[in-house]
A and B are shown apart, each in its own frame.
Chain A
């Protein structure tokens, strides 16, 4: 069972609704199920153990025994709480995506203006993703698992999903008319600066660098858009 298979199991082909694996937060705010929050202490420990194992051995080589040892419980307990490896990985991906999505949303919602919201989102996303040891291992050694979901058509779906989740936040600052377009663009900017393998001239974990990027290149375009008289009806949303 690879991460890729888990993610695909999580994403029914052609699903138009927000698929659960990149759960983020539905428009309106609260999480529908609160998967991660409701995890029992034992389940949380098992998921944390799985993350530690993946950071060390990768997905393919991690066994349920490794996870049980790491979590300080028996293999039977792992089965009882989270099922087999497939189910465990599904829950893990969902819990992590939800956790990071929630952190990014929370960072934005506390901000007073668009600049602060964007800087906070950028720094939060950068720290969560670049400091994520399990994700870093998978990107370095099993990258196909993640890439299918952020490149080409996977990238289209990822952008649409994040833009849907973030649009209400952006509507506060740019109005509902441009919220979807701005939300997608900002997600795209973060994705373009947080993808692996290329030398990035700005370190988004640093608020000064994040502010530099956002105030130099992102905000002026958004301001010009917000000031434009004609509605931008020409940008269809894709699903």
Chain B
């Protein structure tokens, strides 16, 4: 963030994205115009086009990405400091599901304009996958170095598996309801998610196992 912040025009781009997000919340994806966004951001239309040469579609796509970034930064902050890997996953699942459920703009647009939002989310689906795999990989490497990973487990495939399944659970929890029952979520993490990756262990955490700062 700091080196990006120093780039000229970054602050203006951020302001436009924020304004676009507010417009989408208010008018929806279909009705948000460049004009609205320029007005809300207090900049000229030309400035919006300069920052987003692809026009409206470009701006909307980047707005979705911008909000996804914020979501995953919050998620990373929520799980930092977890005492062990299983707890990190449990905390992350419960936090992320609650954040999806309580995300007023996401929920509104999912109801009013799913046909516009879903393709945007899906074509950008590699981003959350990359975030989650990138975030989990160092932890899996650490487990491997500590000799805790199941023999033969490839940390990169394991990170990919966990990322896909976490994303699936966060968006469509299915039988897991709202992922707000700690005992059920612990069982899910210990069996379906980590069954092939880590041996079952008593909760309580590893000494010195602090989740550390998010790496994104």
Q: Which of B45-53, B122-130, B205-213 touches A?
A: B122-130
| B177: interface (CB < 8 Å) | yes
Kindly supply a per-residue 1/0 record for chain B positions 156-200, scoring 1 wherever the CB is within 8 Å of any chain A CB and 0 otherwise: 111011001101110111111100010110011011111111001
| Structural contact, B122 and A232, CB atoms closer than 8 A | no
| Structural contact, A213 and B194, CB atoms closer than 8 A | no
Nearest chain A residue, comparing its CB with the CB of B119:
A143
- Counting chain B residues whose Cβ lies within 8 A of the other chain, the interface size class is 35 or more
Given A144-B114, A156-B172, A234-B181, A151-B122 contact (CB < 8 Å): yes
Determine the chain B residues whose CB is within 8 A of the CB of A188 once the complex forms: 165, 168-169, 174
Report the bound CA distance from A148 to B110 in whole Å: 9
- Counting chain A residues whose Cβ lies within 8 A of the other chain, the interface size class is 35 or more
Which residues of B in the span 107-131 have a Cβ within 8 Å of any Cβ on A? 110, 114-116, 118-119, 121-123, 125-126, 129
Determine the chain B residues whose CB is within 8 A of the CB of A212 once the complex forms: 157
Nearest chain A residue, comparing its CB with the CB of B153:
A216
Determine the chain B residues whose CB is within 8 A of the CB of A143 once the complex forms: 118-119, 122
Q: Which of A192, A235, A238 contacts B164 (CB 8 A)?
A: A192
Determine the chain A residues whose CB is within 8 A of the CB of B123 once the complex forms: 197
Task: Give chain B nearest CB distance to A24 CB in angstroms.
Answer: 16
| Structural contact, B156 and A201, CB atoms closer than 8 A | yes
Q: Which of A151, A163, A219, A235 contacts B184 (CB 8 A)?
A: A235
Given A151-B172, A153-B172, A216-B153, A144-B181 contact (CB < 8 Å): no
Report the bound CA distance from A236 to B166 in whole Å: 19
Determine the chain A residues whose CB is within 8 A of the CB of B195 once the complex forms: 217, 220-225
| Structural contact, B175 and A236, CB atoms closer than 8 A | yes
| Structural contact, A147 and B181, CB atoms closer than 8 A | no
Nearest chain A residue, comparing its CB with the CB of B114:
A148
Kindly supply a per-residue 1/0 record for chain A positions 185-221, scoring 1 wherever the CB is within 8 Å of any chain B CB and 0 otherwise: 1001101110111110110000000001100111111
| Structural contact, A147 and B122, CB atoms closer than 8 A | yes
The interface residues of chain B, by DSSP majority, are classed as helix
| Structural contact, A155 and B119, CB atoms closer than 8 A | no
Nearest chain B residue, comparing its CB with the CB of A201:
B160
Q: Which of B114, B164, B193 contacts A221 (CB 8 A)?
A: B193
| A58: interface (CB < 8 Å) | no
| Structural contact, B183 and A234, CB atoms closer than 8 A | yes
Report the bound CA distance from A98 to B184 in whole Å: 33
| Structural contact, A156 and B173, CB atoms closer than 8 A | yes
Report the bound CA distance from A227 to B19 in whole Å: 53
| A96: interface (CB < 8 Å) | no
Determine the chain A residues whose CB is within 8 A of the CB of B181 once the complex forms: 234
| A23: interface (CB < 8 Å) | no
| B203: interface (CB < 8 Å) | no
| A126: interface (CB < 8 Å) | no
| B204: interface (CB < 8 Å) | no
> Which residues of A come within 8 Å of B, CB atoms?
4, 143-144, 147-148, 151-156, 158-160, 163, 180-181, 184-185, 188-189, 191-193, 195-199, 201-202, 212-213, 216-225, 228, 232, 234-238
